[in-house]
């Protein structure tokens, strides 16, 4: 195995008792027209695990999720999703991956109710030739109950707060009955109290529904207590391991620079911390 | 009024107006939500260039209008996908190029041809039964596809990448949508004209957008407004001897501003930006 850097922690080092690998990157690189977004990624994501992806802005975290969704075939190396290459990935495979994208500016006046937004999660699952029916409406309702938003079913989506919208998008992903849930910075732009509500919700989904979770965040301290493994990313994968293994000054400094501080409580302080 | 309705050409005009008004409004919902307004304009003018070429070389106008309209819609769709150019720039270039082509073709004609101008401004009162049948058939096809795949089209309009990621073949539906827009524009060309078809694509959906926070209701409102305003426009223009296209569009615009004024969204800004 080619290690990009000496401090690279072996991906299989931490022994977690999880199922077969669902996602397998092998020396995979991903290109945007301007240049490489991810290089030489080797990573396995096992059934039932909770993987946190950390790294500074622009380090390719969103790109990694887009790759898992099969939206970006690798330019080099290989990526197997449910043991399929991206090109063979069928719609029903995609429907098995729930995706909560990084919050973009959602038009607050876009005419869509909470119920309609969650029902979109059923579109890919039931396929082109079937129309949504009573069963789908019940699934959507249950998904809203799972995130504690059932009472808002008929509200306009745009009228909700950022944290509530985020929970609706999580419900939309859950309505797919996915095997894997990908969340991209789910707590960005939400107040601190709600941030913890959302993180608790994600933890609960992981434990109760045995969902495989891949959570992206640039907020190391929020994600570290929950994720079973952390992956440290900056175009390359610098380290993969447990929080204890990764949250060390010498490892984090490779990505965040020498200004990084780690406290005795395991807190990380990034000096040039910037939000997008 | 009863006398009016016994007139064959007026009956046909009313049916034609209701069909195009409903059709344009239905597809217009996705045009407005997906932010494709300029594709509507570009396609309409390209289709008109196709009509002008058809009259120049003596070919039937509809097929050439469809070729030009589809070509423009697909090429701009590809450009949008690649993200190479900002969409308004690429559409702007097509818009002027196809308009220049249309003027060129008209200029090359040996004689003045009033029929060509009918496609620019519309000639609803001279719609024939055959044209009406074709319009009806195509409207049925377009609205049928929109209805059958409504969950896919709504998802696409909400967030195309999310749709693709959750297992909807969103890219194919995007191009199907562009195709249906082109068909709609070409079908409506003879009836309301290249300039006003654009207004019918945008104004009823933009009005409905002001009135509801639900996708399905926006569709319902838009189609109702489109049909009613078009029928009312025909009757008004007949009663007061006004040109039909402008009557429909100005009526629709009036309804739009009423909707803005009374919008529960309390937003004194149109949906299109
Ligand atoms: N659609 C895109 N087209 C071209 N370049 C992109 C695109 N999205 C992201 N990039 C570039 O790829 C790199 C990684 O981006 P991203 O995956 O969004 O990082 P992160 O989510 O960690 O902030 C950045 O340099 C960004 O500018
Ligand atoms: Mg990102």
Of B152, B165, B214, the CB nearest to A99: B165
Cα–ligand 2 centroid distance for A60 (angstroms): 7
A15 and A85 share one domain: yes
A3: phi then psi, degrees, rounded to nearest 5: -95, 125
As a whole number, mean pLDDT of residues A79-94 equals 78
What is the reported pLDDT for A209?
A: 85
Of A111, A121, A159, the CB nearest to B166: A121
- Residue A93: CB partners within 8 Å, gap ≥ 6? A70, A81, A82, A84, B167
Q: What angle do CA B37, B43, B47 make, to 5 degrees?
A: 155
Residue B195, in any domain of the structure: yes
What does the pLDDT look like over B169-206, one tens digit per residue?
999 999 999 999 999 999 898 888 887 888 999 999 99
Number of domains in chain B: 1
Residue B132, in any domain of the structure: yes
Q: What angle do CA A104, A107, A108 make, to 5 degrees?
A: 115
| Ligand 1 close to Cβ of residue A121 (< 6 A) | no
Under an 8 A CB cutoff, do A101 and B166 touch?
A: no
Residues of A with CB under 8 A from a CB of B: 66, 69, 71, 91-95, 97-99, 101, 109-113, 116-117, 119-125, 128, 131-132, 156-159, 173, 176
Residue B266, in any domain of the structure: no
What does the pLDDT look like over A144-190, one tens digit per residue?
998 889 999 999 998 888 888 989 999 999 999 999 999 999 888 77
pLDDT exceeds cutoff 60 at B2: no
CATH number of the domain within which B220 lies: 1.10.3470.10
Q: Which ligand is nearest to the CA of A185?
A: 2
| Least confidently predicted of A50-64, A132-146, A223-237, B117-131 | B117-131
* pLDDT class of A10 with cuts at 50, 70, 90: very low
Number of domains in chain A: 2
Of A93, A109, A157, the CB nearest to B265: A109
* pLDDT class of B146 with cuts at 50, 70, 90: very high
Give SS3 for A268.
Answer: strand
What is the reported pLDDT for A8?
A: 40
Q: How far apart, in whole angstroms, are the C-alpha atoms of residue A212 and residue A205?
A: 9
What is the reported pLDDT for A163?
A: 84
pTM of full prediction above 0.90: no
Q: How far apart, in whole angstroms, are the C-alpha atoms of residue A232 and residue B221?
A: 50
What residues of B are in contact with residue A116 (Cβ under 8 Å)?
A: 154, 214-216
What is the reported pLDDT for B195?
A: 77
Up-side HSE of residue B135: CA atoms within 13 Å toward CB? Answer: 28
Buried b (16+ CB within 10 A) or exposed e, A106-144: beebbbbbbbbbbbbbbbbbbeeeeebeeebeebbbebb
Rg (alpha carbons) of chain A, rounded to whole number = 19
Print the domain residue range for B123.
3-260
Q: How far apart, in whole angstroms, are the C-alpha atoms of residue B51 and residue B47?
A: 6
CATH number of the domain within which A157 lies: 3.40.50.300
Burial of A77 (0-12, 13-18, 19+ CB in 10 A): middle
Print the domain residue range for A146.
97-178
A53 and A8 share one domain: yes
As a whole number, mean pLDDT of residues B43-72 equals 92
Among candidate residues B123, B172, B160, the one with its CA nearest the CA of residue B17: B123
A45: phi then psi, degrees, rounded to nearest 5: -115, 120
Residue B77, in any domain of the structure: yes
What distance in Å separates residue B193's CA from the closest CA in chain A? 30
| Ligand 1 close to Cβ of residue A57 (< 6 A) | yes
A174 and A212 share one domain: no
A87 and A186 share one domain: yes
What is the reported pLDDT for A34?
A: 85
- Residue B227: CB partners within 8 Å, gap ≥ 6? B18, B21, B22, B25
Mutate to test the pocket of ligand 1, among A30, A35, A63 (most ligand atoms within 8 A of CB): A63
A238 with A253: CB under 8 angstroms?
Answer: no
């Amino acid at each position: 195995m080619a290690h990009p850097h000496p401090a690279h922690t072996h991906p299989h080092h931490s022994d977690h008792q999880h199922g077969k690998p669902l996602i397998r990157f092998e020396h995979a690189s991903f290109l945007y027209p301007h240049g490489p977004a991810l290089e030489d990624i080797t990573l396995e994501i096992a059934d039932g695990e909770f993987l946190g992806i950390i790294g500074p802005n622009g380090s390719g975290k969103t790109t990694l999720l887009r790759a898992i969704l099969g939206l970006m075939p690798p330019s080099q190396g290989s990526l197997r999703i449910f043991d399929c290459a991206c090109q063979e990935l069928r719609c029903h495979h995609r429907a098995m991956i729930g995706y909560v994208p990084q919050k973009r500016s959602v038009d607050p006046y876009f005419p869509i109710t909470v119920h309609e937004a969650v029902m979109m999660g059923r579109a890919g699952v039931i396929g082109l030739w079937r129309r949504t029916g009573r069963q789908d409406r019940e699934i959507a309702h249950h998904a809203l109950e799972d995130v504690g938003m059932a009472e808002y079913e008929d509200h306009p989506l745009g009228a909700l707060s950022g944290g509530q919208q985020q929970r609706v998008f999580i419900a939309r992903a859950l309505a797919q009955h996915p095997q894997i849930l990908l969340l991209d910075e789910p707590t960005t732009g939400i107040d601190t109290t709600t941030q913890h509500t959302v993180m608790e919700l994600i933890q609960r989904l992981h434990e109760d529904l045995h969902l495989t979770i891949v959570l992206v965040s640039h907020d190391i301290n929020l994600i570290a207590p929950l994720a079973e493994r952390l992956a440290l990313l900056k175009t390359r994968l610098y380290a993969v391991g447990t929080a204890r293994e990764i949250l060390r000054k010498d490892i984090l400094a490779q990505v965040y620079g020498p200004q990084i501080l780690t406290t005795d409580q395991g807190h990380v302080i990034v000096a040039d911390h910037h939000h997008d | 009024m009863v006398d009016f309705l016994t007139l064959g050409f007026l009956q046909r005009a009313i049916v034609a107006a209701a069909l195009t008004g409903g059709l344009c409004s239905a597809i217009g919902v996705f045009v407005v939500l997906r932010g494709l307004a300029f594709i509507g304009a570009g396609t309409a003018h390209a289709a008109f260039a196709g009509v002008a070429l058809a009259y120049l070389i003596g070919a039937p106008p509809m097929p050439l209008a469809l070729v030009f309209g589809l070509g423009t819609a697909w090429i701009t769709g590809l450009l949008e996908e690649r993200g190479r150019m900002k969409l308004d720039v690429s559409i702007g270039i097509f818009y002027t190029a196809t308009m220049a082509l249309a003027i060129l073709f008209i200029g090359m004609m040996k004689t003045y041809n009033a029929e060509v101008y009918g496609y620019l401004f519309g000639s609803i009162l001279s719609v024939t039964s055959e044209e009406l049948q074709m319009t009806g058939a195509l409207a049925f096809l377009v609205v049928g596809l929109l209805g059958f795949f409504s969950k896919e089209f709504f998802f696409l309009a909400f967030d195309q990448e999310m749709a693709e990621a959750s297992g909807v073949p969103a890219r194919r539906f995007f191009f199907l949508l562009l195709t249906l827009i082109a068909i709609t524009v070409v079908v409506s060309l003879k009836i309301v004209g290249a300039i006003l078809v654009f207004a019918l694509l945008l104004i009823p959906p933009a009005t409905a957008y002001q009135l509801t926070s639900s996708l399905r209701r926006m569709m319902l409102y838009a189609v109702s407004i489109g049909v009613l305003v078009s029928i009312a426009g025909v009757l008004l223009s007949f009663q007061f001897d006004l040109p039909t296209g402008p009557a429909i569009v100005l009526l629709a615009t009036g309804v739009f501003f009423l909707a803005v004024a009374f919008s529960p969204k309390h937003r004194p800004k149109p949906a299109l930006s």
